[in-house]
Amino acid sequence: SQKIEQNSEALNIQEGKTATLTCNYTNYSPAYLQWYRQDPGRGPVFLLLIRENEKEKRKERLKVTFDTTLKQSLFHITASQPADSATYLCALPTPPSGNTGKLIFGQGTTLQVKP
Amino acid sequence: GAVVSQHPSWVICKSGTSVKIECRSLDFQATTMFWYRQFPKQSLMLMATSNEGSKATYEQGVEKDKFLINHASLTLSTLTVTSAHPEDSSFYICSASDRVFATNEKLFFGSGTQLSVL
């Protein structure tokens, strides 16, 4: 079965720096990969979706890469702000075609941006 | 964007009682809703897929008689935790897919319900 690995250790960075979070998966390559933000005690909020034929996607200060050879996605936040502090979740569809809407999630990486 | 409303946001109940959690899509119709459970510092675990007008599909290891799901309309799905026990204490989150999004790619999540069973 598919396993998703995100760095469980919190990432602490200084305001203004670029945060880079990693998502690795172990089995099949999915049709797409998604990133969500989750604040404490709240549901996840969709950020970005990148498809298997896309190498990079950007949205404002966010950038996601998808390397199907390495089975890895990187999530970057440039010019980070304290308001970016949250847990970021990587999610893959299951089955890999993504036509059911079912997602499996990584455990998330908590980002702390210090002023 | 689409809004999913989940109620209540937190509930405390005695062991043995049943708790109902509601999930509503406010500005779109959701043919499919998903129920997740999340323990502290752990990933969201999919419990079941709720389809409007039909029986829910449960993931392996999830007791369907314990977690009753009803999706009676295109805007409402409910999860009832029956005869709750302390081990059922968790953060329950629903999500919905906008039926306009034919490929079900993007999910909209409710704000979650923290259940504490004493």
**pLDDT digit string, tens, across residues B20-75:** 999 999 988 888 899 999 998 888 999 999 888 888 999 999 999 999 999 888 89
Q: Which of residues 52-111 of A touch B (CB under 8 A)?
A: 89, 93, 98-108
Contact between residue B71 and residue B77 where contact means Cβ atoms under 8 Å apart: yes
Residue type, B45: M
Q: What residues of chain B lie within 8 A of the CB of A37, using their CB?
A: none
Average pLDDT, chain B: 89
pLDDT at position B55: 87
Chain A residue numbers with beta carbons less than 8 Å from the beta carbon of B91 are 41
Which pLDDT band holds residue A2 (cuts at 50, 70, 90)?
Answer: confident
User: Residue B117: which pLDDT band, with cuts at 50, 70 and 90?
Assistant: very high
Residue type, B85: H
Between residues A88 and B102, the one the model is more confident about: A88
Q: In sequence order, what are the beta bridge partners of A75?
A: A21, A64
A103–B46: do the CB atoms touch at under 8 Å?
yes
> Closest Cα of chain A to B79: distance in Å?
16
Average pLDDT over residues A60-87: 96
Q: Does A46 touch chain B (CB under 8 A)?
A: yes
Q: Is A45 on the interface with B (CB under 8 A)?
A: yes
Q: B105 and A35 in contact (C-beta within 8 Å)?
A: no
pLDDT on residue B103: 53
Q: Give me the pLDDT at residue A60, please.
A: 96
Phi, psi (5° rounding) for residue A10? -70, 145
Length of chain B: 118
Interface membership of A28 toward B (CB under 8 Å): no
Note the pLDDT of residue A90.
Answer: 96
The pLDDT value recorded for residue A102 is: 84
What is the model's pLDDT at position B78? 95
Q: Which H or E element spans position A67?
A: strand A62-67
Give CA–CA dist A57/A51, Å, rounded.
9
CA distances from B56 to A39, A58, B23, B71 (A): 28, 36, 14, 8
